[in-house]
Amino acid sequence: MPAPGSGAADTSSSASAIFEGRVSGHHVLHIENYSRTKERLPNHTSINSRPFRVGGYSWYLCYFPNGESSENADYISVFLCLEQSATGRVEALARLSLLDRAGKPVPSHTREAEVFEYAADESYGFFDFIKRDFLEASEHLKDDCFRIRCDIFIPEGLLTEDRAAFVDVPPSDMHQHFRDLLKSKDGADVTFRVGGEIFRAHRYILGARSPVFKAELLGTMRESTATEDCIQIDDMLPQVFKALLHFIYTDSWQEMKEQEEAMMAQHLLEPADRYDMKRLKLICENKLCNHLEVSTAATTLVLAEQHNCPGLKEACIEFLISPDALEAVMETDGFEHLTKSCPALVKELMSKLATRLYKRRKLSA
């Protein structure tokens, strides 16, 4: 407030906020050979996950396939624990979620615990996290495997920050403008023919998004493409090229039905690699990791090897070295293609399977 007699008041405005800051992180626990864990670990018996770090602390999940006590013997119990190496006590909030096949939390089986003060080897979680009858009858248990996600939120205390007082700046809508530009074809200066369909685009936008397109359309190869009425692409489906252009102009995945995503990701992985579009390539890898099935695992492993996708390759191998999964995959045409096109990859797969079986035998001895 201005002092009396000081003249006109200051009309500028500002705002600030006091809020509770927090750090967060998550860990996904893969339960493989669920039926085996159920047989080997009776009621009140658990197995721990590998340690993982969130907020500078080491945590682990405690998994009871037949419940933590006799009162919850029909349930799977899951608890979050702080490792012995931790010093002092840590306040944290845990959220546990059963994941569906697409890797998304199942709303009916997402549970959030209250803020709990953890000490070394103290745990907090849910005795009745999942009823086994529900899990075994659901689509979330596939090939005897399912996944649990644990999100951890650790309060950092009270913080302050500046806040806009009157002006609410909307999020960027640049992607919408570029999408409309692609749709309208205004100013388009390059034409592609893909599978009998014609696509018009803007060479400077393509060049800005892909170093390969930049060389072809703006660099040393420009003369050859500039004189052509239409650039022919013979080894790509029209709908795949359409999805590629959509990503180039909007930096987003084209909307489609969930069951179509895995097929599109398989098709888009090759052009993403060919045109050196790293983010699109990683998106394809991630979607394929979340849609691994017996019918596609071997084919996807070949794709991962051909296009240098280490994360996807590791996910495929982890899926395949489950004995039940491998036996089913070996009956598919994809596995025959794998053995013919990548024999060294089959040797690597069998070596990792042998190592996994050896470790299991050693643990059961």
**Amino acid of residue 86:** A
- Select, from the ranges 157-171, 172-186, 318-332, the one with the highest average predicted confidence (pLDDT): 172-186
Give the per-residue pLDDT at 362: 64
Give the per-residue pLDDT at 120: 79
Whether the per-residue pLDDT at 12 is higher than 60: the answer is no
Give the per-residue pLDDT at 364: 62
Range 117-133 average pLDDT: 88
Q: Are β-strands 90-99 and 105-112 bridged in parallel, bridged antiparallel, or unpaired?
A: antiparallel
Q: How confident is the model at residue 167 (pLDDT cuts 50, 70, 90)?
A: confident
Which of the two residues, 284 and 165, has the higher pLDDT score?
284
- DSSP states of 119-183: -TT-EEEEEEEEEHHHHHHSTTSBTTBEEEEEEEEEEEEEEEEEE-SS--PPPP-HHHHHHHHHH
Give the per-residue pLDDT at 291: 86
Whether the per-residue pLDDT at 308 is higher than 60: the answer is yes
Q: How confident is the model at residue 96 (pLDDT cuts 50, 70, 90)?
A: very high
Q: Are β-strands 47-48 and 52-54 bridged in parallel, bridged antiparallel, or unpaired?
A: unpaired
Whether the per-residue pLDDT at 168 is higher than 60: the answer is yes
**Amino acid of residue 42:** P
Q: How confident is the model at residue 19 (pLDDT cuts 50, 70, 90)?
A: very low
Which of the two residues, 206 and 121, has the higher pLDDT score?
206
The percent of residues above 70 in pLDDT, for the chain, comes to 85
Q: How confident is the model at residue 153 (pLDDT cuts 50, 70, 90)?
A: confident
Whether the per-residue pLDDT at 187 is higher than 90: the answer is yes
pTM: predicted TM-score of the whole model, two decimal places = 0.55
Range 28-50 average pLDDT: 92
**Average pLDDT over the chain, rounded to whole?**
85
- DSSP states of 317-365: HHHHTSHHHHHHHTTSHHHHHHHHH-HHHHHHHHHHHHHHHHHHHHHH-
Q: Which helix (H) or strand (E) segment is 193 a member of? A: strand 190-194
Alpha-carbon dihedral sign for residues 66, 71, 77, 82: negative
60-95: pLDDT as tens digits:
999 999 999 999 999 999 999 988 765 678 888 899
Q: How confident is the model at residue 354 (pLDDT cuts 50, 70, 90)?
A: confident
Give the per-residue pLDDT at 228: 56
Give the per-residue pLDDT at 11: 44
Give the per-residue pLDDT at 17: 52
